Amino acid sequence: MTKPDKNAPKKTASSSIWGGRFAGGPSQLMTDINASISYDKAMYKQDIAGSVAHATMLAGQNIISSNDLDAICAGLATIEKEIDEGVFEFSDALEDIHMNIEMRLAELTGDPARRLHTARSRNDQVATDIRLWLREAIDQLDNQLAGLQEALLSQAETHTRTVMPGYTHLQTAQPVSFAFHLMAYVEMFGRDRGRLADTRKRVNESPLGAAALAGTPHPIDRHQTAQLLGFSRPMANAMDAVSARDFAVEFMAAAAICATHLSRLAEEIVIWSTDRFGFISLSDAFTTGSSIMPQKRNPDAAELVRAKPGRIIGDLMALLTVLKGLPLAYGKDMQEDKEPVFDAEASLSLSLAAMTGMIADLQAKPEAMRAALEKGHPTATDLADYLVRVLDMPFRDAHHVTGKLVALADSQNCALDGLELADMQAVEPRLDKAIYEVLSIDSALQARNSFGGTAPLEVEAHIKAARAAFIK
């Protein structure tokens, strides 16, 4: 028996899309590569909202009748209910969410459905849908970022006087508070919210009515549809309206930066929860065990958040590569915009949820944090600053003297405040016993009271200001 050729053209429902231009249907392979319904059905609510706005405008301009409008709106409401309830039958042969909805609308209403596509193209339709979808996604991500900031602020409020090492090069640098460290991330995520808010302004422009690429001869009102859909304005150039995807690139760039910030915090959670550091602990809710080592508690949630930027950055690179060198106006290449956008949003949203949960869940271990300050001479800079401030020594000279005292402490296997005063005076005769107060961890913390510093009162003021700025 001869096997059927899967590449052979066959008649499908998609023939009705193209009307009289094509006598036959596409091959199965053409259907497979051409269809986007498997993922763009996620935009069904946005597609229906855009169609309702478009129909409302068409009726207002006397391009369709009020009876047509009523039938279209009733039919679209039925379709939305069918999709919500999971009984709508999606077809690959109908390619995308637009044609799946349009064909079902035709079954429900007949001619009114066939009038709905007047003065628009799938080019401006899909551009409108993805902008509506992304606008909602950005609002949701902003809410999640605010929730993460709230979790960080709540932890910070408890730990303004919990001291820990501040690191550079992952080497002990200076004493800071745990709250101070957490507040750095509050600021980072605040900037991420700012980037998303700025992106939203460029997302929130309406392509609807641009039609295929050059506008339409029908007397439409693009300002009305923009207003109905909550857009700030209709896009000024029809060709740009259907071909622009820089707003999606901008979103994914902002998502990649945010994911990178999450990854940095995740790495610190991984480090802090190790046996070697022991600064924090996570509960069973955000850790897993080992299949062979019963003693293990693995910070898998943090490790997975740490990995997500690779995926999101890959999504960004994928869309940039699709758009590179793509001529105006629309090319089918642009169908490849949605999967990376959807994936980046889903990956970022999941990472934010996991990180918010971990921050709320973690238990700080102040004793371990303070104990870590016994190594690495964290008050060396305070000693140098004292020499400058009290003994009027040029900083480079003070740095040199402090370095000698650090070497002396290392040779005696003690901390700086463990040196005998006489030994210190052998290096710098003007030192007196007041230096021991300077070398205190808590004094060093209190001393850094410049704006943005780690002094407890300064951090408390920062927390209060951040709550006012970020938490509505």
- Whether the CB-CB separation of 286 and 301 falls below 8 Å is answered with yes
**Rounded Cα distance, 414 and 408, in Å:** 9
Q: How far apart are CA 241 and CA 237, in angstroms?
A: 6
Q: Which of 206, 290, 291, 411 is catalytic?
A: 290
169 is catalytic: yes
Catalytic residue, chosen from 14, 38, 169, 283, is 169
Count Cβ neighbours within 10 Å for each residue of 292-327 and write b for 16 or more, e otherwise. eeeeebebebbeebbebbebbbebbebbeebbeeee
**CA-based end-to-end distance of the chain:** 71
Which tokens hold the place of 469? Answer: 């700025």
The sign one gets for the Cα dihedral 435, 436, 439, 442 is: negative
Contact (CB, 8 A) for 206 and 235: yes
Residue 14 bears catalytic tag: no
d(CA 112, CA 46): 20
Q: Give the catalytic positions in this structure.
A: 169, 290
